[in-house]
Structure 1
Amino acid sequence: MRLPPLHRATLLRRYKRFLADVVFDDGREEVVHVPNPGSMLGMADPGMTVWTSRSEAKTRKLPHTLELVEADGALIGVNTMLPNRLTAEALALGLIPELAGYAEVRAEVKYGEKSRVDFLLSSPTAQSRKPPAWVEVKSVTLSRQAGLAEWPDCVSSRSVQHLRELSARLADGDRAVLLFVVQRSDCDRFAVAADLDPAFATALAGAITAGLEVLVYACKMSTEEIVVGRRLPHGAP
């Protein structure tokens, strides 16, 4: 996925979750939108180099959006809106073999109790033997030790609900898939951060026992584009 032209800046502070003060290379200080509801643990320290996109829409109160952060010598994509777009592109290009071969891909499909699954893959023809695949996507940015990507970076009670909804699809013979998209250029393996959210780790272990599939894919990162790359091994419970 090609990124819009990005502007380099230095992070002054992040606050109210969705706001950050930055100073651009030309000395301008601005408030930028942070499209990430998580803690951004290790990626919101004052002085970090960041990259923003700019919208020319006149309806935007804050024209700049935080897209990338540089930490530990790596580029990290902090825009949590991108993994679904990256996944849609990867599915269309067949970059995720485990999810290839479906005739139809639908996004944001209602299911369960007031929930929406990120993607529903299906092959509605009678000749197909592939069961529908319900796919939930998670954006991974945390790394607390070299080479190890982790999720979540804070308590995520909503994700426990997602696991319950996904597991319910297994009873119908469908596939349930949790896809972790690692928006970092420096990780070669993945683990659940059980110390940050024990409830999620416990729920995930139960869902895997019931048949939930866990996939983890790294991204090739640059300031020009982000592309889903290779599959990573994981230590999911």
Structure 2
Amino acid sequence: MTDKKDDVYGDHISNKFNDELMELKTEFLRMGGLVESQVDQAIQALINGDGPLGEEVRAGDKRVDRMEMDIDEEATLIIARRQPTARDLRLVIAVIKMVADLERVGDEAKKIAKFAIKLADEGQAPRGYLEVRHIGDHVLSMLRDALDAFARLDSNQALRIMKEDKRVDEEYQAATRTLLTFMMEDTRNISRCMSVMWVLRALERVGDHACNIAENVIFMVKGEDVRHTPVEEAEKVVGR
């Protein structure tokens, strides 16, 4: 449920200021949609052995980088022109932080695409693709929900994403143990399985960045920084 009492961005006397804040939010969500698609396509390229799709994802990283710079510039200009205070300043600062997380998600998609191309060239699919699909679906859901929480200023949904991060870590550790066991049973699979392990690591990092975005949503809505704090403490902040 959206925090209605805190959903007050865009109520300024200056319509121009309202438009600038709305444009900042829109561009952030547009970039979020792009990196979400990049991760999804990178996973599909890996699982389907689709090297050309992997190349498309790698090429798309430049667009992600360009969007990050454009949004940073837009946010900086808002601070310089409007000198925002309180909730507006929290929004602008949070976007600057979150856009860096989105750019890093794009980097992780590029890494996955690189391994997708490598494994497609090698031909034989190694073990671990089931785990890739499972963890990939999980972190993509987290990223999608984090963007939705931002769009709706929903601190409760953001808190749920923070709680999911621990589950992703557990799934990643379990998948890693499975692949290590398989490599010990047949050393011929070491190289290919190591590539899959790097993909799993990249997906786990996507989950971390989704969690970072969720933490910044709570900062926007509640005005308290919940980074580096236990989930239980964040829960108290959201409940206030």
Q: Same fold (TM over 0.5)?
A: no
The structure having more radius of gyration, on CA atoms, is 2
Normalising by structure 2, we get a TM-score of 0.30
Structure showing greater relative contact order (alpha-carbon pairs closer than 8 Å, 6 or more residues apart)? 2
Q: TM-score, normalised by structure 1?
A: 0.30
